Structure 1
Amino acid sequence: MQKTLWKLLSLTLVILMTLSVVVSSASAEPITLRLGHTQPAEHMINISAMAFADMVKEKTNGEVVIDVYPTETLGTNTELSEACSRGDVDFYVSATGQYTQRYAPFTIVEAFYMFRDQEHMFKFYQSAAHDKLVEGLAQACSVHILADLYYGARQMTTSGKPLNTADDLNGLKMRAANEPLPIAAFTQLGAVPTPIAYNETYLALQQHTVDGQENPPASIYAMKFFEVQDYLNLTYHQFQMLSIFMSDAAMKKLSQEQIDIVYECARAVAAEHNPKAVELEQGFIEQIGQTCQIIQPDIESFRQKIAPMYDQFKDKWLEGMYEEIQAM
């Protein structure tokens, strides 16, 4: 009887120990999340996205793992923005313009010549005015901006015709992001905006489906657009940041401590990325200039021609936001 009892106790102990190991193993399983974007693997945006993922894994002791998918692997910008809102993709790196059809106030940062220079743009992104937009976006689109990465000063490239003044855009077919602001801006400037997916732009330029496009020098170089264009027109029409978005659904998978670490890592990566991106920008212009002729257009002609377009969007912007930005 006593032997039987000891056998039962021993068996119970073995079962309990086995269950303990199983539970321990289950609790040690990392939370795996996905981050998607459209830039090529060698682009500085992807390098910073990878650094963000590595830092999160390190700071959470491997509890949170972020797999990074560049080059539209998980979809186009439009598809990724919608997937992030739904929670099908956990993180997404892109411009806020992708969400402006659902949260129009953010079109203000996409407006051509809204910012005078890099310093003006950075000042806005560190302001309470920007914080208001971030809060509004979270409520409207179920995504949270963790940090912002400097993308660059957007410039226009063209084939066959340089842009010496804004009027030289008249009738040109320009690839535009499928967003309200760029389409309205090119229309205002007299061009014919043609929405084409980012990774289809090279072929569209090569086949002359469009006459030109606009992007920061880092992207023009990484995507090799300069190979199929004649002119790099330094229009400086938009100083742009790309945001690291995190879905509501992804946040619900993490503890508050893990969420805090994710924010901390995103901001740390941005703090390292932004000055480097600014520093490298001129080098990309010089590299492109070895193939394309660099044009210094009359920027004031662009400013004057675009100005009336602001009236089309002011009712979509938060009250007083335009004046607040211009006063910075």
Structure 2
Amino acid sequence: MKLKLSTILGATAAVLVSALGAHAQTALKWAHVYETSEPFHTESVWAAEEIAKRTDGRYKIDVFPASQLGKEADINQGLKLGTVDIIISGSSFASREHPPIGVTYFPYIFRDPSHLIAYTKSDVFNKLAQGYEEASGGNHITAVTYYGTRHTTSNKPIEKCADMQGLKIRVPDVPAYLAMPRACGANTTPIAFAEVYLALQNGTVEAQENPLTTIEAKKFYEVQKNIVLTGHIVDHLNTVVSGMLWSKLSDEDKQIFTEVMQEAAERSTKIIEERENALVDKFKADGITVTEVDKSDFEKTVMEKVTFEEFGYDKADWEAIRAVQ
């Protein structure tokens, strides 16, 4: 009888422990607007699984790609509303909360991807990220991923800045992205990322700008036969944890989240750089016209026609970033 009672109590305890363990698991939503084939998604999935492993299953993170939980503006808003917990999004959207952080999108501020990554380890980055965190109610940037260097695709050849005069170009609805096209005389049109292919196909716009990897992933090359290597923005994405979630994490969990997300960012960055290096030759082989341009012509025009103040940027931040080695 005692043996039976002991067995029953043991089984009951095991059920209770299991139930408590299940109850202790926190379900989180991680959202972004990129395709499942892109490293921003594959490495987010890896990070979600890795966080689960390193926290002994206390967090179950589901990753929602391709605007499943809304466009980029929606998921940024979702951090405040509590509809998402983690997002991947550009500093261009963070700048809606804290304009100075958008200076990283000022044309030609970064020399190359290595300069961008060096910036993310600098004092000026820490200052701008902290400013965003305070302005956004605690949203915390845990990692930065190299998104790619932005180039232009067009229906017509472009060799110099003046060739963009009157060009109808899709540009994200973010002030910094407008600087180069407008300085060169283009007519900018904000169209949601998910709708760009159709807009190019039906002639709503004649051009757009994105990194080579995005041009490939979104198949923009099918409806644009000119790729112009303007290289006007060395772009990046932030991994952002909502203020509501970040404030609840223990110091140990904050460290785990940060370490894993930074590892994922490094993995993504490596993949993007490798893909970019191979894409110019691939596009040329596919019969697409790829044009090298004199970037100094574009940069000179921007510096003559665009001011930092009109975007809410601080020139001292621009100078500090340019000085990062």
Per the TM superposition, whether the score is higher than 0.5 is yes
Counterpart of 1:304 (choices 300, 306, 317) is 300
Correspondence 1:109 to 2:109? no
The 1:16/1:82 distance shift into structure 2, 3 A limit, reads same
Is residue 186–residue 193 contact of structure 1 (8 Å, CA) maintained in 2?
yes
| Segment of structure 1 superposing worse, 231-240 or 291-300 | 291-300
Deviation by residue 1:9-43 (Cα, 9 ceiling, x = unmatched): x99xx899858844651343321101111111101
Residue of 238, 246, 249 corresponding to 1:254: 249
In the alignment, which of 258, 261, 264 is matched to residue 266 of structure 1? 261
- Number of aligned pairs? 318
Q: Is the 8 A contact 2:180 2:298 kept in 1?
A: no
User: SS at the partner of 1:235?
Assistant: strand
- How far the C-alpha of 1:222 sits from its partner, in A, is 0.4
User: How does 1:1-328 map onto structure 2 within 5 Å?
Assistant: 21-22=15-16, 24-29=18-23, 30-141=25-136, 142-159=138-155, 161-289=156-284, 290-313=286-309, 316-318=312-314, 320-328=316-324
* Corresponding residue SS for 1:101: coil
CA RMSD of aligned residues (A): 2.3
Change over 3 Å in CA distance of 1:325–1:254 after alignment to 2: closer
Q: Following the alignment from structure 2 to structure 1, what is the Cα–Cα distance between the partners of residues 19 and 64?
A: 28
Q: Distance in 1 between matches of 2:13 and 2:90?
A: 48
Amino acid at match of 1:70: P
Deviations 1:194-240 (A, max 9, x none): 00111100000000100111111111100000000010000111111
> Quick check: which has more Rg, 1 or 2?
1
Question: Residue 197 of structure 2 aligns to a residue in which SS?
Answer: helix
Q: What are the superposed Cα offsets for residues 260-307 of structure 1, whole Å, 9 maximum, x if unpaired?
A: 211110112223332332122121232233142101122121011111
User: For the Cα contact (< 8 Å) 1:33–1:250, is it kept in 2?
Assistant: no
Contact 1:101 1:180 in 2 (8 A): no
Distance 1:192 1:171 in 2: 6
Deviates more, 1:269-278 or 1:315-324: 315-324
Change (3 A) 1:16 1:253: farther
Tell me the percent identity: 29
Deviates more, 1:92-101 or 1:207-216: 92-101
Q: Would the alpha carbon gap of residues 205 and 120 (structure 1) be closer, same or farther in structure 2, given more than 3 Å must change?
A: same
Q: Which runs of 5+ in 1 are unaligned?
A: 1-9
